Amino acid sequence: MSAQPPDDPFVSLFDDLGTESAFGAASSADICTAVLAEARIVLPDVRTPLDAELWGSDIAAVLGSAGVRTTDIVAAAEQSGTPEALAMLRVLGTVASAGLREEAATAAGRMAAGGTREPFWAAVIGSPAVGDCWHYGDAAGRQEAVTASFRYGEEFHVVSVLVNHTRGGAIQDVWIGAAADVLARTREMLAADPGMTFEMITPQDARARMERAIAAGECPRQPEEIGNVASRWAILRARVALLPARARG
């Protein structure tokens, strides 16, 4: 089983910039300079809010793997004063962990107020509408793919998590991309394998399942899965937070 079969349409910065081994003992300023240099190349291809968030998730993964002080990164980005730096702070202010998210959003606000040009997606990033959710798995209950769909305007995308129940319910893979005909092709796949289970679920149920998987940790096996889980972890948590929680009785 896989989180989702289609190819990921957005190339990961995590693959390009690597982990801590790529940075060695580089300073926060040097790392920020490297990320901003990459931003000048990547930003022309960031055509949707989802593209921007995937980019931000990659950045968060790279910064986390390098073990740098987030305060230094935010300060270096703000000091550069460039549109690329503001774009980076906007995406980190949407998908990063709580502390970095707040620092980045505050710094981005100062830059925007000072006249730095905003990316066109800044006003809507991080606020897609929630759509249909579903899950499917093998008959033995070893693996389960939990999928939630989201919408920016008329553009739908999905977040799909492959949960390995033989590894304590941890996350084995993550796939995020355009929804297109994902649900229809999922139904076709299931029709070809009657032994698999499938169910449309509520957004509340999808959140509960994904939160349990996040709490159980990670268990990627293949190199591609390792890269997917690392580079998509930040946006996964951000999307799960958008799903409504179950009412407490």
Q: Lowest mean pLDDT of 10-14, 54-58, 62-66, 236-240, name the range.
A: 10-14
Q: What is the per-residue pLDDT across 181-210, written as a single tens digit (0 to 9) for each?
A: 888 888 888 888 888 899 999 999 999 999
Smallest Cα–Cα separation from 162: which of 135, 186, 140, 144?
Answer: 144
21 with 77, same domain: the answer is yes
Residues 230 and 157 placed together within one structural domain of the fold: yes
Q: Domain count for the chain, please give it.
A: 2
Please answer whether residues 131 and 150 qualify as being in contact, where contact means their C-beta atoms are separated by less than 8 angstroms.
Answer: yes
Q: Which has more confidence, 39 or 114?
A: 114
> In percent, how much of the chain has pLDDT > 70?
87
Residue 81 has pLDDT above 70, yes or no: yes
Instruction: Output the CA torsion 201→207→208→212 (10° steps).
Output: 120
Within-domain flag for 2:
no
Out of 83, 113, 143, a domain closes at: 113
Helix (H), strand (E) at residue 209:
helix 203-216
Q: Are residues 50 and 136 in the same domain?
A: no
Tell me if 94 sits within 8 A of 101, measured CB to CB.
yes
Domain identity same for 232 and 208: yes
pLDDT at 20 > cutoff 50: no
Which of 113, 139, 173 marks a domain boundary?
113
* Shared domain check, 92 and 42: yes
Residue range(s) defining the domain that contains residue 86: 13-113
User: Are 75 and 171 part of one and the same domain?
Assistant: no
Residues 170, 66, single domain; the answer is no
One domain, residues 90 and 20 = yes
Whether residue 28 is found in the same domain as residue 92: yes
Which of the two residues, 231 and 68, has the higher pLDDT score? Answer: 231
Predicted confidence (pLDDT) at residue 96 exceeds the cutoff of 80: yes
Query: What is the rounded CA–CA span in Å between residue 33 and residue 43?
Result: 15
Whole-number mean pLDDT of the chain? 87
Single-letter residue type at 142: R
Structural domain contains residue 67:
yes
Q: Is residue 237 part of a domain?
A: yes
Among 44, 78, 113, where does a domain finish?
113
Residues 93 and 173 occupy one common structural domain: no
Task: Answer whether 46's CB lies under 8 Å from 52's CB.
Answer: yes
Q: Residue 249 domain-assigned?
A: no
- Residue scoring higher pLDDT (26 or 198): 198
Question: Which pLDDT value is given to residue 139?
Answer: 87
If you count them, how many residues does the chain have? 249
Res 6 pLDDT > 50: no
In a domain, 3, yes or no: no
In this structure, are 151 and 208 located in the same domain?
Answer: yes
- Quick check: is 150 in a domain? yes
How many CB atoms are closer than 10 A to CB 53? 27
Q: How many helices (H) and strands (E) does the chain have?
A: 10, 5
- Is it the case that residue 101 has pLDDT exceeding 60? yes
| More confident position, 121 or 12 | 121
Residues 107 and 138 in one domain: no
pLDDT at 9: 32
- Specify if 183 maps to a domain: yes
Residue 122 lies in a domain: no
pLDDT digits (tens, 9 = 90+) for 124-176: 999 999 999 999 999 899 999 999 999 999 999 999 999 999 999 999 999 99
- Mean pLDDT (whole number) for 40-56: 93
CA geometry: angle 128, 133, 135, nearest 5 deg: 140
Q: Is the pLDDT of residue 26 over 80?
A: no
